[in-house]
């Protein structure tokens, strides 16, 4: 297990693991719905994202399929909580899937190459690509160092005086290759954990 391997070489991680316990699995199915859900979740709380997604599924059907999404009008999607910008991103993704231009089952095995492929999609930045590879594909060495939750979790785990910025978080993560996904999931698990 990646987390135990990291903890064996990182006393602060071992202490936090002892107190907070192992995080529950957070794997999603690979494919269009998960990538769309990642777009929906950008820059909003987990609860807000879940609420928007539930309204989208109620309107469009399970997984918010591409065809109904493309057929839905602006006001209907706005009522679900999708901003104009996110609607543009969602439609762009749906069009790529419908046209066959995007095959999410054929992403490159190399993480950086897969991130480069995903970030060609309108509305998918590095963070969204990393989140997708981590949760939908379960890749073992993804490290979204720009994520505020990871940075906050690292501050608690490592007892740092302040939240590390992206550059510092990236450098901290280097020591945990090739198990950085486990460290990322554990960082999120620790951020609001009362045991720490």
The residues assigned a catalytic role are 147
Element (H, E) at 49: helix 46-60
Could you tell me the sign of the dihedral formed by the alpha carbons of 92, 97, 102, 107, in that order? Answer: positive
DSSP 149-186: HHHHHHHHHTT-SS---HHHHHHHHHTTTT-HHHHHHH
User: Residue 88, exposed/middle/buried by CB under 10 A (0-12, 13-18, 19+)?
Assistant: middle
Instruction: Give me the phi and psi of 106, to 5 degrees please.
Output: -120, 30
Instruction: Give me the phi and psi of 139, to 5 degrees please.
Output: -70, 140
Residues with Cβ within 8 Å of 76's Cβ and at least 6 positions away in sequence, in order, are 59
């Amino acid at each position: 297990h990646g987390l135990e391997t990291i903890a064996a070489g990182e006393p602060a991680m071992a202490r936090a693991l002892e107190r907070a316990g192992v995080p529950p699995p957070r794997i999603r199915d690979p494919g269009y719905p998960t990538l769309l859900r990642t777009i929906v979740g950008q820059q909003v709380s987990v609860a807000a994202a879940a609420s928007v997604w539930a309204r989208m599924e109620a309107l469009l059907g399970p997984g918010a399929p591409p065809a109904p999404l493309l057929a839905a009008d602006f006001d209907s999607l706005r009522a679900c909580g999708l901003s104009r910008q996110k609607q543009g991103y969602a439609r762009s993704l749906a069009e790529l899937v419908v046209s066959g231009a995007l095959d999410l089952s054929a992403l490159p095995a190399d993480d950086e190459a897969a991130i480069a492929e995903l970030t060609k999609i309108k509305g998918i930045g590095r963070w969204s690509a990393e989140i997708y590879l981590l949760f939908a594909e379960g890749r073992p060495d993804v490290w979204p160092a720009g994520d505020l939750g990871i940075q906050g979790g690292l501050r608690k785990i490592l007892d740092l005086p302040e939240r590390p910025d992206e550059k510092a978080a990236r450098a901290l993560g280097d020591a945990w290759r090739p198990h950085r996904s486990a460290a990322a999931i554990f960082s999120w698990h620790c951020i609001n954990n009362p045991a720490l």
